[in-house]
């Protein structure tokens, strides 16, 4: 099977996200990078060696004969680029959140395959958890609790750059950075939808949310909570998922991504072997590669678990509902 002609926009100039996309796509063997616009700065684009022609003008890629393009830019550029590539008949793989606000995506639906990089749902243990819930291994779903602590907004330079600028990042802050991943995880694994939420959002150190605590209620009757924060000293790989049913509980931690625990009253099943903490980065890239494998299937019209444009829209509704809540229950 021939490889997909692929382009990458953004991710250059020392950004961490560009190499992650590159390594993940190459690891699949399904993509061939044929053109890239790593930065709008000509000197950065010219100095970027990704093994393909580079340009500072992302619009040059519209006529590069691409099958697919990945958009790894600041949030305010996502929708302009996505619309342009979709109009050119190119499948889009877009980082989250989709845009700054719901208004930017209102009334638009892509005509071509569209994948959103909710990469945490691509971990094998997470997918095994989804399968276990689908066959009723937990019994009736009762509780869904997710927590994610990071310290990124405490680090030097955190008040600078596009993520700290609402005009470029949008109003979501940690709700967009972490929260959208979490609601996707919750709904992906459980197969249920969050019906309403009650959020308290705080902006420590920045004019954007950096910490949020939410209660949520699912359409099927389960309840639970979500806490996301980027102002916890020493936080890092602190994503934890706990799902409890009437018969058993599932627990998964990003710090040990292969360690999925299935627990019943008074005992637990043998977990999968855990990765050591120093192997986390490799596990992260492998999960991103799994996402890219699914993206290739989506682009080729094959069955896939890749997050869709609708999942990205769902994330935008989540951000705005949490901000709007301000301590009151609101629908989602």
What tens digit of pLDDT does each residue of 271-322 get? Answer: 544 444 444 445 888 999 999 999 999 999 999 999 999 999 999 999 999 9
Q: How many alpha carbons fall within 13 Å on the CB side of residue 307?
A: 30
pTM of the entire predicted model:
0.93
- pLDDT for the residue numbered 270: 52
pLDDT at 190 over 70: yes
- pLDDT band at residue 10 under the 50/70/90 scheme: very high
- pLDDT for the residue numbered 161: 84
- pLDDT for the residue numbered 315: 98
pLDDT digits (tens, 9 = 90+) for 69-111: 999 999 999 999 999 999 999 999 999 999 999 999 999 999 9
Contact 35, 96 (CB under 8 A): no
- List helix spans (H) across the chain: 17-28, 42-47, 78-87, 124-134, 166-169, 174, 180-190, 280-299, 309-325
- pLDDT for the residue numbered 230: 94
The Cα 23–Cα 202 span in angstroms is 35
pLDDT at 331 over 90: yes
Closest to 112 (Cα-Cα) out of 67, 78, 70, 81: 67
Question: For the chain, what is the mean pLDDT?
Answer: 93
Q: What is the mean pLDDT of residues 133-159?
A: 93
Query: What distance separates the 2 farthest-apart alpha carbons in the chain?
Result: 62
**Residue 72 CB contacts under 8 Å (≥ 6 apart), including other chains:** 8, 9, 10, 11, 15, 17, 18, 21, 95
Closest to 98 (Cα-Cα) out of 113, 84, 117, 112: 117
- pLDDT for the residue numbered 84: 98
- pLDDT for the residue numbered 269: 56
- pLDDT for the residue numbered 280: 46
pLDDT at 234 over 90: no
CA angle 221, 226, 227 (to 5 degrees): 165
- pLDDT band at residue 8 under the 50/70/90 scheme: very high
> H helices then E strands: how many in the chain?
9, 14
Strands 211-218 and 194-202: antiparallel
- pLDDT for the residue numbered 294: 98
Structural domains in the chain, sorted by start = 4-112 (3.40.50.720), 121-282+300-331 (3.30.360.10)
Q: How many alpha carbons fall within 13 Å on the CB side of residue 65?
A: 4
């Amino acid at each position: 099977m021939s490889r997909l002609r692929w382009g990458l926009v953004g991710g250059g100039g020392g950004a961490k996200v560009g190499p992650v996309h590159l390594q993940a796509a190459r690891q699949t063997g399904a993509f061939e990078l044929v053109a890239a616009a790593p930065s709008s700065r000509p000197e950065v684009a010219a100095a970027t060696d990704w093994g393909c022609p580079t340009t500072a003008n992302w619009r040059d890629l519209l006529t590069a004969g691409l099958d697919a393009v990945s958009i790894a830019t600041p949030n305010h550029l996502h929708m302009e680029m996505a619309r342009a590539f979709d109009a050119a008949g190119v499948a889009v793989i877009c980082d989250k959140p989709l845009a700054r606000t719901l208004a930017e995506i209102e009334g638009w639906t892509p005509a071509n395959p569209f994948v959103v990089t909710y990469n945490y749902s691509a971990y094998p243990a997470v997918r095994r958890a989804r399968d276990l819930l689908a066959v009723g291994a937990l019994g009736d779903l009762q509780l869904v609790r997710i927590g994610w602590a990071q310290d990124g907004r405490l680090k030097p330079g955190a008040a600078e750059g596009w993520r700290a600028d609402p005009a470029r990042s949008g109003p979501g802050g940690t709700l967009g950075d972490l929260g959208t991943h979490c609601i996707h995880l919750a709904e992906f694994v459980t197969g249920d939808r969050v019906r309403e939420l009650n959020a308290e959002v705080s902006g420590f150190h920045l004019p954007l949310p950096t910490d949020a605590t939410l209660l949520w209620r699912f359409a099927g009757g389960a309840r639970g909570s979500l806490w996301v924060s980027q102002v916890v000293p020493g936080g890092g790989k602190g994503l934890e998922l706990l799902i409890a049913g009437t018969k058993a509980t599932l627990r998964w931690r990003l710090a040990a991504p292969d360690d999925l625990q299935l627990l019943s009253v008074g005992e637990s099943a043998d977990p999968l072997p855990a990765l050591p903490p120093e192997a986390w980065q490799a596990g992260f890239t492998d999960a991103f590669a799994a996402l890219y494998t699914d993206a290739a299937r989506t682009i080729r019209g094959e069955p896939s678990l890749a997050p869709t444009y609708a999942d990205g829209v769902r994330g935008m509704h989540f951000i705005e509902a949490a901000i709007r809540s301000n301590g009151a229950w609101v629908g989602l």
